[in-house]
């Protein structure tokens, strides 16, 4: 027998989402049915938003901190950590039954101001490994971005090995990456270790070069026995700019799979700069580009997670560019609008998820 409360609850959800009421109700459920995890980036202040929290809990099975695990947010003075904000995200995930992924332990960016001079003066490896240990020993994570964006971006001048300039490269040379992964494996043997990067999703010539550089870089790590489990493909797409080339992307994903690596889509969002002022047209283009991307990556069993870089446009940063600011431009990058209504991107994701072939 159906209780009155359940009937009321069903009625309420039908009212809220009439179009989707008969079909799928959550991205995490569709993903789980196809053998992968759906999640999102979130920031600790979002957990105070009563409109948003139920959505996050209903839709996502995994969270990644947008800021709170970056070193500038954590290690306020050398060796002095403020874990409060990150603790709150982990506590929320635990209560809600979500898993966590970590972002990020070693990056050229978002480091505390004191770190660069100290590193240059001491070149002490503990400034690298000590942080990795401090974070991994405190928090249980399903996966973690051990190193983020170590390669020079597509179209920029790079060294022969493709590495970008950074405080880490200055202090230790290219070996900092191996050191970081070994330290991470020792500190958290059960956590999937990820190299996270952007720039191989699109079709331009500079992306071709970047894909080749990335494969050489990964081959180097694997040949040296570096404990790497997955490639994090950020998935920052552009609906009106440099578009995804499905054939090139498919080939690249096959190369990742051939190396025995998992593929995690870690920061999916779709920028709509350059699009028309008509919001419906922009939303459709955003949805289409995501669909073209997801259809390719989800066609490989290597792909084991999809996370969006925020679930709602309410929490997307305003553009940096002054011209866009003057236009009052608001990005429409995520599956939900600022009023927590589903957008065409949500439907495109649900359809792409549901269409994944199950390989096992």
Q: Find the residue with minimal CB distance to ligand 9MR.
A: 110
CB of 145 to ligand 9MR, least distance (A): 8
Tell me how crowded residue 9 is: count the other CB atoms within 10 A of its CB. 11
User: Please, what is the minimum distance in Å from the beta carbon of residue 236 to ligand 9MR?
Assistant: 6
d(CA 317, CA 319): 6
Token pair belonging to 191: 């956590």
Cα-only R_g, the chain: 21
Binding site for ligand 9MR (CB under 6 A): 66-67, 70, 110, 148, 234, 236, 267, 317
Toward ligand 9MR, which CB reaches closer, 238 or 300?
238
Nearer to ligand 9MR, 71 or 342 (CB): 71
Q: How far is the CB of 234 from ligand 9MR (least distance, A)?
A: 5
Residue 236 vs 259, nearer CB to ligand 9MR:
236
Cβ distance to ligand 9MR smaller for residue 34 or 104: 104
Element (H, E) at 306: strand 303-308
CB burial string 23-43: b at 16+ within 10 A, e below: eeebbbbbbeebebbbbbbbe
Tokens encoding 98? 């979500």
Cβ 307 to ligand 9MR shortest distance, Å: 11
Torsion of CA 107, 234, 140, 315, to 10 degrees: 90
CA distance 109 to 335: 27
Kindly tell me which of 236 and 257 has the beta carbon lying closer to ligand 9MR: 236
Q: How far is the CB of 52 from ligand 9MR (least distance, A)?
A: 17
Q: Cα separation of 336 and 60, whole Å?
A: 13
Q: Report, in Å, the least distance between residue 64 CB and ligand 9MR.
A: 9
Coil, helix or strand for 284?
Answer: helix
* 278 versus 320: smaller Cβ distance to ligand 9MR: 320
Tokens standing for residue 251 = 């080939």
């Amino acid at each position: 027998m159906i209780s009155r409360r359940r009937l009321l609850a069903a009625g309420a959800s039908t009212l809220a989402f009439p179009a989707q009421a008969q079909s799928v109700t959550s991205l995490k459920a569709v993903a789980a049915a196809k053998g992968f995890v759906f999640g999102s980036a979130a920031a600790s202040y979002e957990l105070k938003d009563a409109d948003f929290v139920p959505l996050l809990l209903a839709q996502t099975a995994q969270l990644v901190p947008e800021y709170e695990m970056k070193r500038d947010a954590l290690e306020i003075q050398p060796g002095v950590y403020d874990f409060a904000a990150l603790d709150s995200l982990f506590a929320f995930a635990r209560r809600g039954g979500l898993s966590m992924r970590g972002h990020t332990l070693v990056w050229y960016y978002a480091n505390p101001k004191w770190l660069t001079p100290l590193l240059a003066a001491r070149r002490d490896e503990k400034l690298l490994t000590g942080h990795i240990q401090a974070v991994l020993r405190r928090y249980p994570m399903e996966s973690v971005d051990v190193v983020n964006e170590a390669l020079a971006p597509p179209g920029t001048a790079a060294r022969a090995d493709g590495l970008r300039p950074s405080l880490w490269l200055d202090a230790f040379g290219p070996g900092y990456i191996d050191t970081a992964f070994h330290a991470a494996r020792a500190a958290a043997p059960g956590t999937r270790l990820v190299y996270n990067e952007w720039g191989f999703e699109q079709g331009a010539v500079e992306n071709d070069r970047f894909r080749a550089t990335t494969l050489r870089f990964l081959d180097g790590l694997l040949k040296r026995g570096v404990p790497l489990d997955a490639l994090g493909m950020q998935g920052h797409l552009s609906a009106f700019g440099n578009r995804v080339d499905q054939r090139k992307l498919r080939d690249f994903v096959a190369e990742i799979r051939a190396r025995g690596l998992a593929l995690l889509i870690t920061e999916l969002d779709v920028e709509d700069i350059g699009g028309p002022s008509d919001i419906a047209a922009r939303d459709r283009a955003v949805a289409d580009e995501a669909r073209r991307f997801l259809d390719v990556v989800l066609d490989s069993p290597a792909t084991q997670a999809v996370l969006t870089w925020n679930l709602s446009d309410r929490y997307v940063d305003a553009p940096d560019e002054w011209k866009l600011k003057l236009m009052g431009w608001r990005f429409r990058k995520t599956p939900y609008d600022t009023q927590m209504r589903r957008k065409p991107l949500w439907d495109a994701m649900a359809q792409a998820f549901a269409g994944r072939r199950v390989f096992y």
